[in-house]
Structure 1
Amino acid sequence: MLNSPSAPAAARGTHPDGGRSGAPPDYWDVLGGPPVPRPVLTMGGFKHLLVPCLAAACLSDHPWHIGNAPRIEDRRVLSAVLRHLGAAVEDRGPRVTVDASGLSGTHIPAHWSAAVHGGIYLLPALLAARGEVTSGLHGGCAIGGGAQGSRPLSHVASVLERFGAVCEADAGGFRAKCGPGGLRGTWIDLAGYARTEPATGTPTGPHYSGATKTALLAAVTARGTTVLRNPYPKPDALELARLLGQAGAQIEISPGRITVEGLGGPLGGADITLPSDLMEVVTFIAWAVHLRREVELVVERPDLLKAGLASELALLSEMGVPLEWDGPRLRVRPAERLRAVRVLASSHHVYSDAGPLFALMLLGADAPSRLTDDVWGDRFGYADGLRGMGARLTRDGNDLLIRPGPLRPAAGPLVATDLRAAATLLLAALGTETPQRVHGVTHLARGYEDLPAKLAALGARIDIDPRTDAHNDTPNGTGEAS
């Protein structure tokens, strides 16, 4: 174990991120190492496409094969849920196969729904496939406005009601039933589940993505035509629509509109290869920029990746970060001078998930920068940790002013409150070249595959709390999710 400050009182006996009382502390002791000559890393699959694809498999009476599936907590938990519901799941290596022809269950137990956010996409799928669904509250990062810190479900209920379902979402969980004859096609302007981003006039907000994917999953096996205006424009929604089309749905995607001719019955099978995870790519770019190192990233489906990260790549170019593409390989080199930029995280611009990583990178810029998050109001859980390392950050509502300057080791352990805060504080700690303890790393298992091994390949030393079970092959190491 590295020499590092002892855990704070709040971390002893409980998870700093609000886990159950008596659970073992989750932390890593980290230390940055010397540069590794020309390191090469292979990126894992796209989490935000994996989870709705696992749900979509419930709409089919033929197997869905999902390749390049990242080994993350969402995959483990959702595979367990699908087995509980009666589906056959083969979950090996980079491939997951789901055969939902034997699907019989309609209830997602609360201990599973609370474990990850991705279970919300099982709600429309089970409703469409079985005619009803119930669940507990849904978890993930506590950055939304749901009951007891959970992710909100009211927008899911509202969308499904447009298809004729009767829904109830409250502090006890979620319940929905189809009307007579099942779900029926409808017309939805998804901008109604968003707010207008003031600088650009485009829809944005925390419900926009979920409402779009919920509507797609409900529409494909409904009776009649569904028209979705102003759908969420990122690849996790648009690529989901394309994959549903490949499985037999009749879907037309045009600018600002998706039209679905409902099948009135099950989808066919699918054989999918997920693209690389967009946020893992941004994370390792941020590692290279912040530590002023070089790295080469090997990605799957680079064309989709470039399109999905168009706003992020444009900002990195404006900042002066050298990025060189060679087929599926992206080489990142240190910037000679890092320029200040204005970062807008919104549904039509930079991913909100990328905002914390840009804040870290911009501490090395040549002038102050400003970051606005117009998706999630509580996406600044990393700011206090960075301030404890000397960062000069000033928050005003959903704006963050970033004054450049070096980081120093924190006086005590760093505590991350969500997934991207954990990644940001981890990279910040590695940049100090001093042993540092980072709490809240259990969050990382929901978004990154084999992160300790990848960081070790870059020269970092990662000592994992031997009492934590966050990195076992199943969510609690026993074959069942806790």
Structure 2
Amino acid sequence: MDKIRIVGGNALEGIIPISGAKNAALPLMIASLLSEERLILENVPRLADVALLQRILGNHGVNITTNGKRAGDDPFAGQTLELDARVIVDTTAPYDLVSRMRASFWVLGPLLARIGRARVSLPGGCAIGTRPVDFHLDALRALGADIEIDAGYVVASAPRGLRGGRVVFPKVSVGATHTALMAATLAEGETVLENAAREPEVTDLAECLIKMGAKIEGLDTSTLRITGVSRLRGARHSVQPDRIEAGTYAMATAMVGGDVMLKGARADLLENALDVLRQTGVQIDSSDEGIRVRGTGNGIQPVDVTTAPYPGFPTDLQAQFMALMTRAGGSSRITETIFENRFMHVQELARLGARIHLDGDTATVEGVERLTGAPVMATDLRASVSLVIAGLAAEGETLVQRVYHLDRGFEKLEEKLSRCGAVIERISN
């Protein structure tokens, strides 16, 4: 199993290109199931989760072509996928595939909407909370689906097609919003989704669906209105830049100092997190080129944050921000409101010398003068990269194990950081 070795102490200087967003690419790929025509997606990141979803969609009969690179192409440019779901050969998503990536459960909505039936394994993914699928199933029931749970599988049917309806989510859920939105595009009549997720990745999906012929109103709001159509056509769509990757590298720069241009990043997708970073003392400027992050040399100021659905502080940046706060000049409080098990990185940060006290859903971080390198173990995707950030600032060598988590969500992480002066390398067994 691969490891990542880091020797800390270097500031970051240079340009880090930001890849397409994994959390946008996955539902966009799944949306291909809604149409008999080709969906062309540009700026798709090269990640383990993307490759796994290609296998899952292939199991349903989707033919996927990856456009190859040409000589002289930017090695960090995203790939282009052509997805052809003209013929669906299987409406079952098996346990051995779905259990490895939670987002693959979202195939349930498109299969049900287009084919009228689906059999999808209950999901797996990162162990950061229970994340029940009740909201997904209740939304589909509101659209007329019959749903049963049988031997670990969701068995859904709508032989006469889905019908528009009113869905009120009890709690904001990005995944359930994706599922209901895709299903509603082919449902007869109007569907209203209330308390829908407002995350940029939901808007990216909606914009692609509109290009495919869907009728959707209320983008960027918590109420989406969808008027179903009889069929969707093909389209070409570019995946938005990854706001979580951009926020991660911004926090890394804030922690170790330096001057980094996050090329292609969009500040409008990350306003809350950038405001928080400015409060820590880092200088941030945005332009058409991207987001520039510069350390001021005045130390890191402690800041309290509470994670919240968009446009609040992202839960996917909580672990990275905690790493940053371990070097702040004082005490900070981080409250996690989205996932109940998302503090598993705390004990690993403590191995590097961090002082963190947990009390329920709140972590109190006492900034320390220095961190010291040590072997650490990654527990999930975002926890993994928080350990990398901490390792960049720690004295001596840090060895991050179980880096397959990183490969699920960060493209060419070692190359991007080493180009900016970090001493970081992958060690393959």
Instruction: Map Cα deviations across residues 344-386 of structure 1 (whole Å, 9 max, x no partner).
Output: 1011411100111111112232321111111001111111011
3-state SS of paired residue (2:231) = coil
Could you say which residue in structure 1 is the equivalent of 2:375?
A: 413
Task: Find the aligned partners of 2:422 and 2:386 in 1 and give their Cα distance.
Answer: 15
Deviates more, 1:26-35 or 1:42-51: 26-35
Task: Check conservation: 2:303, 2:333, Cα contact below 8 A.
Answer: yes
Q: CA deviation at 1:52?
A: 0.7
Q: How does 1:443-454 map to 2 (within 5 A)?
A: 443-454=405-416
Structure 1 length as normaliser, TM-score?
0.82
AA aligned to 1:111 is: D
Task: Find the aligned partners of 2:424 and 2:344 in 1 and give their Cα distance.
Answer: 22
AA aligned to 2:167 is: I
Could you say which residue in structure 2 is the equivalent of 1:329?
A: 290
Report whether the alignment pairs 1:251 with 2:216. Answer: yes
Could you say which residue in structure 2 is the equivalent of 1:52?
A: 27
Task: Find the aligned partners of 1:401 and 1:138 in 2 and give their Cα distance.
Answer: 32
3-state SS of paired residue (1:164) = coil
Task: Find the aligned partners of 2:149 and 2:269 in 1 and give their Cα distance.
Answer: 32
Could you say which residue in structure 1 is the equivalent of 2:189?
A: 224
Instruction: Map Cα deviations across residues 144-188 of structure 1 (whole Å, 9 max, x no partner).
Output: 21xxxxx5333222221111112234772322112x411111101
Could you say which residue in structure 1 is the equivalent of 2:102?
A: 117
- List 4+ stretches of structure 1 deviating above 6 A: none
Task: Find the aligned partners of 1:377 and 1:227 in 2 and give their Cα distance.
Answer: 29
Deviates more, 1:248-257 or 1:55-64: 248-257
3-state SS of paired residue (1:39) = strand
Task: Find the aligned partners of 1:169 and 1:404 in 2 and give their Cα distance.
Answer: 48
Q: How does 1:322-471 map to 2 (within 5 A)?
A: 322-335=283-296, 336-348=298-310, 349-410=312-373, 412-467=374-429
Instruction: Map Cα deviations across residues 275-324 of structure 1 (whole Å, 9 max, x no partner).
Output: 2101100111111011122211101xx5xx32321211121222221012
Report whether the alignment pairs 1:288 with 2:253. Answer: yes
Q: Percent identity?
A: 31
Task: Find the aligned partners of 1:218 and 1:75 in 2 and give their Cα distance.
Answer: 22
Could you say which residue in structure 1 is the equivalent of 2:163?
A: 184
Q: CA deviation at 1:450?
A: 1.1
Structure 2 length as normaliser, TM-score?
0.92
Q: Of 115, 138, 156, which residue of structure 1 is paired with 2:123?
A: 138
Task: Check conservation: 2:105, 2:120, Cα contact below 8 A.
Answer: no
Report whether the alignment pairs 1:239 with 2:204. Answer: yes
Task: Find the aligned partners of 2:122 and 2:424 in 1 and give their Cα distance.
Answer: 33
3-state SS of paired residue (1:317) = helix
3-state SS of paired residue (1:294) = strand
Could you say which residue in structure 1 is the equivalent of 2:239?
A: 274
Residues 171 and 367 (structure 1 numbering): CA distance in 2 closer, same or farther, change over 3 Å? farther
Task: Find the aligned partners of 2:8 and 2:328 in 1 and give their Cα distance.
Answer: 21
Runs of at least 5 residues in structure 1 that lack an aligned partner in the other structure:
1-24, 146-150, 195-203, 468-482
Runs of at least 5 residues in structure 2 that lack an aligned partner in the other structure:
69-78
AA aligned to 2:426 is: I
3-state SS of paired residue (1:364) = coil
Could you say which residue in structure 1 is the equivalent of 2:75?
A: none
Q: CA deviation at 1:258?
A: 1.0
Residues 407 and 127 (structure 1 numbering): CA distance in 2 closer, same or farther, change over 3 Å? farther
